[in-house]
Amino acid sequence: MRGVVMHAPGDVRVEDREDPRIVEPTDAVIRVAAACVCGSDLWPYRGVEEVAGRPMGHEYVGVVEQVGDQVRDVKVGEFVVGSFFASDNTCEICRAGYQSRCVHAEPVGALGTQAQFARIPLADGTLVATPGMPDADLVPGLLAASDVLGTGWFGAVAAESGPGKTVAVVGDGAVGLLGVLAARRLGAERVVIFSRHADRQRLAREFGATDVIAERGDQGVAALKELTGGLGAHSVIEAVGTQESMMQAIRSTRPGGHVGYVGVAHGVELPGKELFFSGVHLHGGPAPVRRFLPELVELIWNREIDPGKVFDLTLPLEEAAEGYKAMDERRAIKTLLRP
């Protein structure tokens, strides 16, 4: 089959890779209907993470082709959405809603879903089937559920977005934008996005943002405080993962408020004393997308939300390199790849 491999920073190629097959009796193999490039794929692309011959991709929707002997619930021919961590969905950690830290968790990213086919471990725990074969226009939304929507949603939940709250969002990538959507769906009264890009501001407003702040860092914090009677937001979603964005998120939050951080922290060191005196709640990590998938699939299926709007570039799988480049150069928010 054909699949994406990153050989070095900036060097993305589509190559012949071995066809995936059932390895464990709990596996499934899916024919990938759509995959995409994640903001986190840009870390190795930009040389922030090491990379040498890595199959890429951890977001996916597709049709089940084969299942292992112990797969009970997932059926061949079903259209399925999964998360970037395979999970058994039965252990104590999964039952508490932290499937990305399942005691048997396996990163799907290691298998590379930017490809024609993918092996998905722990299929019964990991995959959620749609009610039927989706219309073509629903596919991007379902694909978004597998990571960016699920991650933005977790950020909004971790930040305790809800009725009466002012929620601020640090980061105007796909996750931040879908954090806006999630915060509104969860009932937030006011949603403020930090963004200096007109196209992203527009999409943020479409997803329900009520205010936009173009300043960053401490100036951004000052602008937010001015909007919130000097107190800061009740809830802040952090969707970048740098030192600056984390500090901006913490400083934007009022005492007793909640920071939900979902940007993969790179080179971040949190100063203990400042954190202590901030009095905020801090929660985040790799999103337990599986917790939210049934609800998100239903919302998308019923056309109540359209997270697929974050894809502003669609390319054939063979042109994956251009998809990475467009995101790296911020010409695209998020690239959908069609195998």
Q: Which residues bind its own copies (CB under 8 A)?
A: 92-93, 96-98, 100-101, 103, 229-231, 241, 243, 246, 254-256, 261, 264-273, 275-286, 288
Shortest distance, CB of residue 280 to its own copies, whole angstroms?
A: 8
Q: Which is nearer to its own copies, 77 or 272 (CB)?
A: 272
Q: Which is nearer to its own copies, 77 or 164 (CB)?
A: 164
Shortest distance, CB of residue 269 to its own copies, whole angstroms?
A: 5
Q: Which is nearer to its own copies, 78 or 238 (CB)?
A: 238
Q: Which is nearer to its own copies, 95 or 202 (CB)?
A: 95
Shortest distance, CB of residue 289 to its own copies, whole angstroms?
A: 13
Between CA 16 and CA 37 the distance in angstroms is 19
Q: Which is nearer to its own copies, 280 or 336 (CB)?
A: 280
Q: Which two tokens stand for residue 279?
A: 């009095």
Work out the burial of residue 119: count CB atoms within 10 Å of its CB; fewer than 13 is exposed, 13-18 middle, 19 or more buried: buried
Shortest distance, CB of residue 155 to its own copies, whole angstroms?
A: 12
**Residues in contact with 23: Cβ distance below 8 Å, sequence separation at least 6, in sequence order:** 119
Q: Dihedral sign, CA of 71, 77, 80, 85?
A: positive
The secondary structure of 101-154 as a DSSP string is G-TT-EEGGGT--SBSEEEESSHHHH-EE-SSPPPGGGHHHHHHHTTHHHHHHH
Consecutive H or E run containing 65 = strand 60-67
| Amino acid present at 88 | D
Shortest distance, CB of residue 88 to its own copies, whole angstroms?
A: 14
